[in-house]
Amino acid sequence: MATPRRGGWTPLDPEVPPYTRALTERLRESCLRAGRPSFRQLRMRSTSSGGVTLTLATLSRVFTPDPSATDQRSLPEWVYYETLLELLGVDAAPFRELWERAQREWRLREKATPEAPAEPCTADVPESRAEPSGVAGSSGSPRARESGADVAPAAAGEDPEGAPGGGVGLEEDSAESDEVAPVERLPESPARGKTLRYSFRPAILLVLVLLFGGGAGVLAVLPDERSLPERAEESVRDSRRTSAVTRQSDGSSPYETECADPTRVRVFYSHLYRDWPRQNEPTTAVVRLHYSPTCRTVWAVLEDAAPGSVATLRRESDGAELSCTAGANGSCITPQLDDAGHRSFAEAHGDGTYARTRSF
């Protein structure tokens, strides 16, 4: 699996997209300038650094991306590239934007180029009534809820928000980008902006009281004729209708729905351990919980595990779960679950190992 230390690099597939090709060639040049350490050396250095582990499978995907591999639906997460560049003695910051472009390009390579979206069609719609799709009040590209790429692994033995036996977790808040792929938005609740609004009746009662021939008067405004309990009941009904719509995301693909935008997704992960929950010696296998704040969905990702290992995504409120089984390459991805107003976690087991992420 590892590229030999001596000799040239494995030629890139002609189908590798341009941004991915440019990123890979720059990484190869940086590796050559650093003395071309072997994959096993890089793995050992990453393990000693206390950060993420650069496994042989991950390094192979970084230096030789294969567009024909059905399991490589995305490039490795930015934290792996950042760790690799630090081990090579290279500043990772200049590579971040190129990786973001390559990641979007890789995930959408079978679709239209995301940087040149088609003009929205507003034919037969009066200009005064044409509105952009998505959440009310939004304009232009959606903005990430949180910015920055702070990566902070949890301390070993810590009990992360209800995870039994503690867990090792890492949270990635992807950096914000001005060029983002379009993300499908959920229908807006018809009651938004309505439940707390008083509707003034068309006929306003004006009572002019003349006091001693003066001009003082009193203006009486009648609010919504419905009582507060009635308005609250309508709000609950509208909220349930919205929840029923969002549940339609259960079982869908995070990539086909374009929820897996790397500039927005938050990631929580844990290595698999043979002595769980003591967490003394982690294996190279990693289970991840991905959360999209735009789509408000979650999905699980398993990497570098033993073939046949199983990753399971669980929603705590109703027990809904989705699973996937690792293939020969040790990786798999589950469909997504709606996470609006819920808490979910990912777990994985196989070959005598186990791990669970924090709940989110």
Residue 346, strand partner residues? 313
- Look at residues 68, 87, 107 and tell me which one is the last residue of a structural domain: 107
Q: How many CB atoms lie within 10 A of CB 339?
A: 23
Residue 209 belongs to some domain of the structure:
no
In a domain, 271, yes or no: yes
87 inside domain: yes
What's the mean per-residue pLDDT of the chain? 71
Is the pTM here over 0.75, yes or no?
no
Domain assignment of residue 79, yes or no: yes
Q: What are phi and psi of 54, to 5 degrees?
A: -90, 95
Give percent above pLDDT 90 in the chain. Answer: 26
Average pLDDT over residues 223-238: 54
* Burial class of residue 166 (count of CB atoms within 10 Å of its CB; 0-12, 13-18, 19+): buried
Domain count for the chain = 2
Each residue's pLDDT tens digit, 268-325: 888 888 877 777 778 888 999 999 988 999 999 999 899 999 999 999 989 999 999 9
Single out the residue in 56, 73, 107 at which a domain terminates.
107
pLDDT in tens, 45-57: 888 777 788 888 8
How far apart, in Å, are the Cα atoms of 261 and each of 20, 295, 359?
16, 10, 21
User: What is the mean predicted confidence (pLDDT) over 248-262?
Assistant: 85
pLDDT of the residue at 214: 46
The answer as to whether 63 is a domain residue is: yes
**Residue 278, CA atoms < 13 Å, CB-side half-sphere:** 4
For residue 247, what pLDDT band results from cuts at 50, 70 and 90? Answer: low
Q: What pLDDT digit, counting tens, does each position of 103-123 carry? A: 998 888 765 444 444 455 444
Residue 193 placed within a domain: no
Q: How confident is the model at residue 62 (pLDDT cuts 50, 70, 90)?
A: very high
What DSSP string describes 66-102? -TT-TT-SSPPPHHHHHHHHHHTT--SHHHHHHHHHH
User: Residue 256 pLDDT > 80, yes or no?
Assistant: yes
Question: Of the ranges 25-29, 208-212, 227-231, 316-320, which one carries the lowest mean pLDDT score?
Answer: 208-212
**Assigned domain for 324 exists:** yes
Under the banding of pLDDT at 50, 70 and 90, the label for residue 95 is very high
Measure the CA angle with vertex 42, ends 36 and 45; round to 5°: 130
C-alpha torsion angle, residues 240, 245, 246, 252 (rounded to 10): 150
pLDDT at 168: 42
Q: Is a pLDDT exceeding 80 seen at residue 41?
A: yes
Last residue of a domain, one of 81, 107, 133: 107
> pLDDT per residue over 5-36, tens digit each?
455 788 999 999 999 999 999 999 999 999 98
Rounded to an integer, the average pLDDT of 166-176 is 43
Q: Which domain holds residue 295?
A: 171-177+252-356
**pLDDT for res 349:** 92
- Is the pLDDT at 222 greater than 60? The verdict is no
Q: Which pLDDT score, from 0 to 100, does residue 127 have? A: 43
